[in-house]
Structure 1
């Protein structure tokens, strides 16, 4: 968790987000922090994604240390429209990272094909 906070030090975060990070590290203001997180959770908005059945593609690392797979699967299971989940060996964004710099990547390529089919109605 500390790694995420260290990576965010130079990010342009709102004052509220910085306060939440500080609170998490200090173990204080837990109810307020949980409310802040709930407002940002995809699970909170699953009903909005279900009508009009928005296609949703998840790519997740099985060994994820920041966002455990069971949290992603909770959202996935709450969705009723077209959905796909890919669980890969690795940690946070590791399996997808090569694709972000243009290297061949089965996860990104699969996501592009799947989303093209569901959003554009065509196969890639």
Structure 2
């Protein structure tokens, strides 16, 4: 399983997780020249930008730790671009992280959804 497949598996799991909890998925892999946000969702008047980090082991730390200050700043700038371009209706913005650990065979061993992560 390559990194792209691992990422897709994590994003698929996260989309399912969000759908089951009443979130509306607005965008998946929203790309602009500055970068990409994995998932943009809405729940009520809340607009949520979600970064999904999926790993097969903890050799490089907990997946969520990969969303460092630089990545957070980039995601916030992409969020500003999204809002100015798409003009979604919302009252609040939130930035969440889904952190997923997989087995070598691709089975989800553990996950954590971090609300208001940054």
Please say which structure displays the higher CA radius of gyration.
1
Report which structure shows greater RCO (CA 8 Å, sep ≥6).
2
Normalised TM-score (structure 1):
0.25
Higher strand share: 2
Normalised TM-score (structure 2):
0.26
